[in-house]
């Protein structure tokens, strides 16, 4: 059979197009896999923890990058995500545990001891507060690129003086803190280390310990890394925290069952203490150390023992290996996020009980080497972008503009949680309006 020249050209063009499409897919597949994993995990959490519909989550939370093209499907207590049927990913919900992304299909999902009750705070659906704060709250809830605030709470002297919620959210809605969870991990480590403080050890002495992972850190550079280095992001371990591409952070969260193991397997690129490098992997290493410090007590039970009376809605979702993802997956109501800030303002004391070693919160506020004075121990400090913050302020801070500001000199805590593009919220404008409102005591 003879083919015409035109047919041969069409056949060649079709083959070339197929080859190009195949090559493009192979090149994009790793990014699509990360994106589908992010979508499955986030949609699962929002669907089951917040009670929202998948279509609404897709429209308002997966509204950036390639995520607008993702398909979502709920099946029992799972959410599936894919791009046009390609790179399917799934996340599994467990009551009292939250959602877990399945990163390694051949590895079983670890059992998690001590599921949380997940109680909300109850009480009023929103305290409007004094009229003098209305303009500040209006400003704080105004739309920003990519979304807006979903909960805004102002505490003074430990009492709510004003709060506001977006439509569809209220005082019982758990909200994702993203990297604000890092500060909780630092407090949890202080609690786990508390026996080492007896009778009167200072934090600097306790966190000077090194040789933390002798079975892996056999080289001299990593053997010298201390708890202090990890807390202050000064370990020298290799890490790329970029979120919009393939990076250590996105690979850890969306491709590895044991996130802490992935992080502590990283090589040392520089001697400890010589440069500052923000790293979600570092925080998950700290959570693994929490587990090893008290192997007889599941980490989830340690979380409940420390934070249960302060923030009963708090849930830190686990990895597939079962360890809470201390870098990223903390959920709590806006009120409870504010109360966690109040706990820090009170130096780790709650209702008369000293729950953290004396001096631990002050230690977390000590500036890290190389961070230009803006970062402490898994805790943020005022920077040049926040001139209205008093010098004694510090904060929890997370992706997509989650913040808890703690201002001891004004006996004030401000919690703002929402969804939007990262680093677009005018927090200085919000804090300035609250401080200058005349509504504070």
Judged on CB neighbours under 10 Å (0-12, 13-18, 19+), 170 is middle
**The pLDDT value given to residue 122:** 46
**The pLDDT value given to residue 24:** 47
**The pLDDT value given to residue 13:** 61
**The pLDDT value given to residue 128:** 80
Number of C-beta neighbours around residue 118 at 10 A = 16
CATH number of 132-435: 3.40.710.10
- CA dist., res. 367 & res. 398, Å (int): 18
**The pLDDT value given to residue 26:** 44
145, 365 contact by CB (below 8 A): no
Q: Where do we find the tokens 């587990």? A: 291
CA nearest to 61, candidates 418, 356, 423? 418
CA nearest to 150, candidates 337, 426, 416, 331? 416
Q: Secondary structure of 325-354 in the HEC alphabet?
A: CCCCCEEECHHHHHHHHHHHHCCCEECCEE
Task: State pLDDT tens for residues 334-363.
Answer: 999 999 999 999 999 999 999 999 999 999
Q: Which residues pair with 162 in a beta bridge?
A: 154
- Strand 330-332, strand 412-419: pairing: unpaired
Q: What does the CA dihedral 240, 103, 87, 59 come to, rounded to 10 degrees?
A: -80
Nearest 5 degrees, angle CA 118-CA 122-CA 123?
A: 165
Record the tokens describing residue 131, joined without a space: 């009229």
Average pLDDT, the chain: 92
**The pLDDT value given to residue 68:** 86
- CA dist., res. 46 & res. 98, Å (int): 10
What residues have CB less than 8 Å from 325, skipping those under 6 apart? 181, 253, 259, 284, 287, 316, 317, 318, 319
Backbone phi, psi, residue 176, to 5°:
-80, 125
Q: Secondary structure of 340-407 in the HEC alphabet?
A: HHHHHHCCCEECCEECCCCCHHHHHCCCCCCCCCCECCCCECCCCCCCCCCCCCEEEEECCCEEEEEE
Record the tokens describing residue 113, joined without a space: 């001891």
236, 270 contact by CB (below 8 A): yes
pTM of the model: 0.93
Strand segments, DSSP code E, in 12-169 are 71-75, 78-83, 86-94, 98-101, 148-156, 159-165
Q: In what order do the strands lie in the sheet with 330-332?
A: 175-176, 330-332, 315-316
Record the tokens describing residue 156, joined without a space: 């003074």
> Residues of the chain whose pLDDT is less than 50?
20-27, 119-123
H-only helix segments in 160-279: 180-192, 203-206, 220-223, 227-231, 248-255, 259-264
Q: Where do we find the tokens 């977006």? A: 166
Q: Which residues pair with 86 in a beta bridge?
A: 83
């Amino acid at each position: 059979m003879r083919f015409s020249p035109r047919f041969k050209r069409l056949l060649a063009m079709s083959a070339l197009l197929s080859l190009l499409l195949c090559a493009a897919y192979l090149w994009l597949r790793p990014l699509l896999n990360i994106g589908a994993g992010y979508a499955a995990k986030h949609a699962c959490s929002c669907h089951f923890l917040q009670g929202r519909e998948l279509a609404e989550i897709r429209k308002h939370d997966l509204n950036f990058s390639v995520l607008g093209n993702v398909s979502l499907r709920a099946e029992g207590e799972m959410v599936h995500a894919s791009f046009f049927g390609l790179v399917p990913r799934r996340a599994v919900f467990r009551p009292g545990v939250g959602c877990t992304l399945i990163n390694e299909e051949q590895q079983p999902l670890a059992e998690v001891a001590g599921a949380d009750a997940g109680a909300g705070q109850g009480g009023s659906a929103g305290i409007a507060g004094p009229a003098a704060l209305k303009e500040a709250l209006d400003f704080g809830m105004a739309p920003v690129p990519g979304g807006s605030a979903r909960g805004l709470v102002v505490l003074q002297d430990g009492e709510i003086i004003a709060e506001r919620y977006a439509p569809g959210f209220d005082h019982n809605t758990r909200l994702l803190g993203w990297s604000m969870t890092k500060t909780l991990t630092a407090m949890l480590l202080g609690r786990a280390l508390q026996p080492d403080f007896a009778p009167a050890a200072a934090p600097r002495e306790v966190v000077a310990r090194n040789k933390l992972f002798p079975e892996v850190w056999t080289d001299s550079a990593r053997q010298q890394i201390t708890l202090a280095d990890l807390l202050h992001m000064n370990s020298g371990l290799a890490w790329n925290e970029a979120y919009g591409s393939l990076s250590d952070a996105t690979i850890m969260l969306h491709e590895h069952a044991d996130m802490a193991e992935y992080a502590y397997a990283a090589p040392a690129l520089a001697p400890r203490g010589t440069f500052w490098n923000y790293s979600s992997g570092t925080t998950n290493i700290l959570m693994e150390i929490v587990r090893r410090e008290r192997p007889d007590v599941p980490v989830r039970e340690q979380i409940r023992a420390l934070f249960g009376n302060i923030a009963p809605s708090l849930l830190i979702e686990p990895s597939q290996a079962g360890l809470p993802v201390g870098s990223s997956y903390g959920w709590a109501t806006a009120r409870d996020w504010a109360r966690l800030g109040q706990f820090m303002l009170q130096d780790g004391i709650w209702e008369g009980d000293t729950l953290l070693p004396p001096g631990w919160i002050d230690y977390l506020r000590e500036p890290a080497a190389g961070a230009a004075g803006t970062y402490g121990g898994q805790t943020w400090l005022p920077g040049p972008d926040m001139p209205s913050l008093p010098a004694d302020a510090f904060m929890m801070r997370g992706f997509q503009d989650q913040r808890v500001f703690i201002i001891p000199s004004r006996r004030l805590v401000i919690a703002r949680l929402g969804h939007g593009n990262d680093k677009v919220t005018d927090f200085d404008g919000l804090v300035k309006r609250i401080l200058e409102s005349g509504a504070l005591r």
